[in-house]
């Protein structure tokens, strides 16, 4: 009778086994363990998504142009597979080839276990078949899903704070609209991103050519969001926060329109005229002199200022602080605003904008939203939107698990503590069994999250 070693030492067996000699007995590993997946935690996010209908809502944005008789993967299945792969850390379409036999990927894409999930060519055809109209609907759905998911909070607080920023997206191939940007000194795309401050959701995102100015198209994009908000909430106050790249008269005028009425805080760039006005304002000021002598504190004030391109004077808030790093010089920052209130309080409200930069980092680094390697611009815009929708699903998921020890975890930590767990999948006549690793150290968190999913309070996002 052959021993196990003899059986595994045949020609075919050697191809699927690996031997180790560091233990007191030989160790042999092979790849014959059965239908095992390393992403068992995706089941939790899938259940959450089915309760709120997020992926269903965005799948409806893409028109079906394929011949029905030749369709093996429905649009919603393709979108589900792509988004869950992104959430699990597989950001490229080529990863479909590695995962099309993975049992968990099949389950979250709602494929039968005896079927294969989508391959890379199928996913790439989807990316390259979307139209500008499809992409615009996907962008509008970012706003729609934000509104539906946060409507109770917005109605209660009667305000929304929108944060605007742009980011560099370096590109290294021959993608359409990848151009050289002198400020960043690289060939890139230049996306525009609008966040909701409180929830962290992306409300709208726009892929732009690499050489455009930071403020290019900002009024048009903000207007689309504002109109949606005004349609749903007649009496809310909309606030806007942005850095100096968006310090343009067109944006000021838009916010000040009587039918828009947006309160804004926008950093303004320095020039000789405003610097001389500030110097006149602070010269001989006892508080400023104290800041110079002692350091470690700041002084806040404001002036009236009119640039040549402005049709009227506007209020500029000034923060004066001591900087040891710059030869003990006084450091001055300036924010233009149409808001009333104490300068210190308004400036501190602006400073909360730093959280948006962390959210952009998570979008780019955690979700790999800068992986825009298709040749067509529209395909890359579709990719950016899909990455962003995946990000928003996780933002809402984190909101659902508040109170748990992973409520503030970024996507990398969620993968470690919730998603990346080995599971063995077995299918019987009546049930699919998913056996989770018995020695997994985060079992308690998994169970807590599953319990929290029975109390989902977000309404159905796929409703028209």
Q: What is the pLDDT of residue 333?
A: 87
Task: Pull the structure tokens for residue 141.
Answer: 């759905």
Q: 3-state SS string over the chain?
A: CCCHHHHHCCHHHHHCEEEECCCCCCEEEECCCCCEECCCCHHHHHHHHHHHCHHHHHHCCCCCCCCHHHCCCCHHHHHHHHHHHHHHCCCCCCHHHHHCCCHHHHHHCCCCCCCCCCCHHHHHHHHHHCCHHHHHHHHHHHHHHHHHHHHHHHHHHCEEEEEEEECCEECCCCCCCCEEECCCCEEEECCEEEEECCCCCEEEEECCCCCCCCCCCHHHHHHHHHHHHHHHCCCCEEEEEECHHHCCHHHHHHHHCCCCCEEEEEECCCCHHHHHHHHHHHCCCHHHHHHHHHCCCEEEEEEEECCCCCCCCEEEEEEEEEEHHHCCEEEEEEEEECCCCCHHHHHHHHHCCHHHHHHHHHHHHHCCCCCCCCCCHHHHHHHHHHHHHHHHHHHHHHHHCCCCCCCCCCHHHHHHHHHCCCEEEEECCCCEEEEECCCCCCHHHHHHHHHHHHHCCCCCCCCC
| CB-CB contact of 323 with 329 (8 Å) | yes
What is the largest distance, in Å, between two alpha-carbon atoms of the chain? 100
Assessment of whether the complete model's pTM goes beyond 0.85: yes
How far CA 41 is from CA of 45, 56, 363, in Å, comes to: 7, 20, 20
Q: How far apart are CA 252 and CA 1, in angstroms?
A: 86
Taken as a whole, the chain contains a residue count of: 464
Residues of the chain with pLDDT under 70: 1-15, 280-296, 323-329
Q: How far apart are CA 453 and CA 401, in angstroms?
A: 8
Q: How far apart are CA 419 and CA 440, in angstroms?
A: 12
Q: How far apart are CA 296 and CA 266, in angstroms?
A: 25
Whose CA is closest to 107, among 43, 186, 156? 43
Query: Can you say whether residue 132 is alpha, beta or left, with left for phi > 0 and alpha for psi between -120 and 50 degrees?
Result: alpha
Q: What is the pLDDT of residue 234?
A: 87
Q: How far apart are CA 193 and CA 205, in angstroms?
A: 5
Q: What is the pLDDT of residue 3?
A: 47
| CB-CB contact of 358 with 343 (8 Å) | no
Burial 350-363 (b: 16+ CB within 10 A, else e): beebeebeebbebb
Q: What is the pLDDT of residue 267?
A: 95
| Neighbour count for residue 191 (Cβ, 10 Å) | 23
Q: What is the pLDDT of residue 277?
A: 75
The residue ranges of every structural domain in the chain are 1-32, 37-243+353-464, 264-346
């Amino acid at each position: 009778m052959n021993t196990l070693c003899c059986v595994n030492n045949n020609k075919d067996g050697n191809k699927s086994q690996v031997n180790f000699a560091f233990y007191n007995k030989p160790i042999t590993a092979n790849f014959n363990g059965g239908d095992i997946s390393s992403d068992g935690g995706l089941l939790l996010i899938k259940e959450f998504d089915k309760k709120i209908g997020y992926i269903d809502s965005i799948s409806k944005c893409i028109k079906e142009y394929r011949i029905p008789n030749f369709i093996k993967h429905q649009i919603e299945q393709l979108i589900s597979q792509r988004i869950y792969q992104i959430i699990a850390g597989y950001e490229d379409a080529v990863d479909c080839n590695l995962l099309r036999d993975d049992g968990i990927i099949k389950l979250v894409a709602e494929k039968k276990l005896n079927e294969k999930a989508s391959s890379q060519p199928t996913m790439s055809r989807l990316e390259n078949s979307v139209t500008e109209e499809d992409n615009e609907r996907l962008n509008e759905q970012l706003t729609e899903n934000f509104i539906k998911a946060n409507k109770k909070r917005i109605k209660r607080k009667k305000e929304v704070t929108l944060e605007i920023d742009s980011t560099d997206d370096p590109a290294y191939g021959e993608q359409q609209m990848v151009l050289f940007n002198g400020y960043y000194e690289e060939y890139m795309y230049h996306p525009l991103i609008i966040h909701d401050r409180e929830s962290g959701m992306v409300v709208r995102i726009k892929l732009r050519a690499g050489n455009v100015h930071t403020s290019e198209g900002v009024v048009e994009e903000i207007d689309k969001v504002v109109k949606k908000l005004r349609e749903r909430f007649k009496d809310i106050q909309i606030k806007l926060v942005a850095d100096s790249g968006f310090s343009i008269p067109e944006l000021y005028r838009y916010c000040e329109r009587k039918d828009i009425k947006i309160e804004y805080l926008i950093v303004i760039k320095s020039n000789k005229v405003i610097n001389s006005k500030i110097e006149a304002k602070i010269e001989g000021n006892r508080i400023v002199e104290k800041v110079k002598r002692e350091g470690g504190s700041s002084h806040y004030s404001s002036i009236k200022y009119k640039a040549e391109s402005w049709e009227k004077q506007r209020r500029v808030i000034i923060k004066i602080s001591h900087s040891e790093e710059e030869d003990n010089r006084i450091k001055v920052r300036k924010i233009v605003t149409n808001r009333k209130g104490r300068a210190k309080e308004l400036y501190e409200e602006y400073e909360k904008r730093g959280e948006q930069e962390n959210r952009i980092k998570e979008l780019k680094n955690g979700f790999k939203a800068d992986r825009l390697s298709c040749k067509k611009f529209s395909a890359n815009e579709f990719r950016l939107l899909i990455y962003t929708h995946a990000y928003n699903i996780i933002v809402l998921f984190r909101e659902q698990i508040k109170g748990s020890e992973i409520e503030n975890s970024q996507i990398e930590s969620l993968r470690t503590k919730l998603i990346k767990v080995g599971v063995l999948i077995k299918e019987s006549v009546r049930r699919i069994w998913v056996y989770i690793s018995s020695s997994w150290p985060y079992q308690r968190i998994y169970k807590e999250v599953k319990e929290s999913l029975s109390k989902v309070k977000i309404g159905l996002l796929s409703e028209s």
